[in-house]
Structure 1
């Protein structure tokens, strides 16, 4: 039987259809018992042991100083971005019910898999260019002038190494006809592709009087918030898929029934079943009771028609600020009453 998911798993790019989820890949959404010690020496080894990794992954972690810190950074990126993108949704990426939710092939699980793989891809590429990983360095794309790049203190984000290392770190297994595994792997690859789509070439000119006698170029990833926004759009336009058998190869494939004349795109997030409402406490979430909302925009949907409570809160803020010569700003402190709206409990 397929191992249950307790958290999102990560898989390498181009894994479909030769990799399968094992349920033992890095678990990147629940905060682990991470140490605050720097990732060096015994502290690095301790951090590797504290993480929920396979035996093989722990060996790789121990041999790769900086990897434990990078995995921890991917936790932070994915969790913060998920919570930001769903701050006004009924499901707000809370940790409540995460294990139960991940057992179902719903849109929320699709987003979790995509944002987690995107965060690890992004964090690894940044770790290479910042020198936090010993076995990788700047991007080595053709045409990038490393000599000038190092001279001017510029180092490109190494997405090529990042995706290659992911494949090695996360391993591969045969998918066979497991539709759920194919769905999960597809969504994981959507996250990696979202990071790739934000990779840009940036150039800087050097020369006398601003001329472009010498041009230094390097690869640079977009801020992760841009990736999160793209994945939220993919979530909003996610495609419900079915399983079909390819008559030519006999292999099981995914198809989107609502795209009659167009095959499923590799950038579509996909799901297999409808999501729960998330309105009331359940094994999937804590519900929306007590959640803050905006009276004119989100309260109706977020509160699921139960209505909302109104309260007055006194807030302190800076006001009447003036600039004093030359560089000093003086402000007064003001208090203001604000109406705060919270959803009524179920």
Structure 2
């Protein structure tokens, strides 16, 4: 399981960097203090991290089952799923990603208290976003099929359930991040549990839906170094697309840098690729301090 958890951590971190590479906050969570402050203060960015992390865990565990990495704990998902269209032309088979085991494992791994006993506002928000990550994976858990037949004829299909590429899940969660709602709490006097209510004009004071990302506190602009990020000084940017936003109006400098890359590659049968190493000078923009 240790290998799978490590893969999930790498998967979520790499996807976070891709989703925010052109924004002021570029998933700068390498610094432990920045990461902890984001999480403790319930910013929108930490909500994304909770959702993305739980999505990565769900995905990695389900895939590890189907790939045999966790063969002592789980295996392929061979469950049948109803499908009303052309049921006669396909049958369930193959090796599906095991969503059922993944969800069961995460319930104990995340260790959230029962919903009816939790009176902790931050925990309620974090749990909501973690659940959102799992739901997003389930939404991207789709039927895949392989054709069978003589001479390429697709006489029948063998089908199984498989999670889409993680970038699709990242894109989905990034859209939810863009539409995230600020929430406050209404502690129910009788039960002592936390009732989350939206506090934005769009939300209108209603309870957030399970499909919405939520956060507790407004984020800073991330322009300058603070408790949450290193700021955008010296950040690389695109002169025609992102410098104005990322540099926060401070302007940018152009520097010539030398890139080293493989080039003029040839393929030798079978199966070796030979490449030269080429260098080229390019102009790169960096935000001013």
User: TM class, shorter-chain normalised?
Assistant: 0.7 to 0.9
**C-alpha deviation, 1:330, in angstroms:** 9.7
**C-alpha deviation, 1:168, in angstroms:** 2.6
Which residue number in structure 1 is paired with residue 87 of structure 2?
Answer: none
Distance in 1 separating the partners of 2:265 and 2:58 = 44
Find 2:242's aligned residue among 278, 298, 302. 298
Determine whether 1:84 maps to 2:25. no
**C-alpha deviation, 1:252, in angstroms:** 2.9
TM-score, structure 2 as length reference: 0.83
Which residue number in structure 2 is paired with residue 101 of structure 1?
Answer: 38
Determine whether 1:242 maps to 2:169. no
Determine whether 1:162 maps to 2:79. no
Find 2:126's aligned residue among 164, 184, 208. 184
Tell me: CA distance 1:82–1:138, structure 2 relative to 1, closer, same or farther (3 Å).
same
Distance in 2 separating the partners of 1:321 and 1:179 = 57
**C-alpha deviation, 1:322, in angstroms:** 9.6
Tell me: CA distance 1:303–1:254, structure 2 relative to 1, closer, same or farther (3 Å).
same
Find 2:62's aligned residue among 101, 115, 125. 125
TM-score, structure 1 as length reference: 0.70
Structure 1 vs Structure 2 CA RMSD? 3.1
Tell me: CA distance 1:212–1:296, structure 2 relative to 1, closer, same or farther (3 Å).
closer
Find 1:219's aligned residue among 161, 180, 189. 161
**C-alpha deviation, 1:104, in angstroms:** 0.6
CA contact (8 A) 2:47 2:214 kept: yes
Determine whether 1:256 maps to 2:256. no
Distance in 2 separating the partners of 1:119 and 1:255 = 27
Find 1:311's aligned residue among 244, 249, 255. 255
Tell me: CA distance 1:288–1:207, structure 2 relative to 1, closer, same or farther (3 Å).
same
Distance in 2 separating the partners of 1:302 and 1:268 = 27
**C-alpha deviation, 1:333, in angstroms:** 7.5
Find 2:51's aligned residue among 114, 130, 150. 114
Bigger fraction of residues in strand: 2
Distance in 2 separating the partners of 1:138 and 1:72 = 21
Residues 25-53 of structure 1 deviation map (CA, whole Å, 9 limit, x = unaligned):
xxxxxxxxxxxxxxxxxxxxxxxxxxxxx
Unaligned runs of 5+ in 2: 83-90
Distance in 1 separating the partners of 2:7 and 2:275 = 37
Determine whether 1:138 maps to 2:72. no
Find 2:227's aligned residue among 283, 291, 313. 283
- Compare 129-138 and 162-171 and name the one that shifted more: 162-171
CA contact (8 A) 2:260 2:277 kept: yes
How many residue pairs are counted as aligned between the two chains? Answer: 272
Distance in 1 separating the partners of 2:24 and 2:197 = 28
Tell me: CA distance 1:259–1:124, structure 2 relative to 1, closer, same or farther (3 Å).
same
Residues 204-252 of structure 1 deviation map (CA, whole Å, 9 limit, x = unaligned):
2323344454431111110111111111111111111122356997743
Unaligned runs of 5+ in 1: 1-66
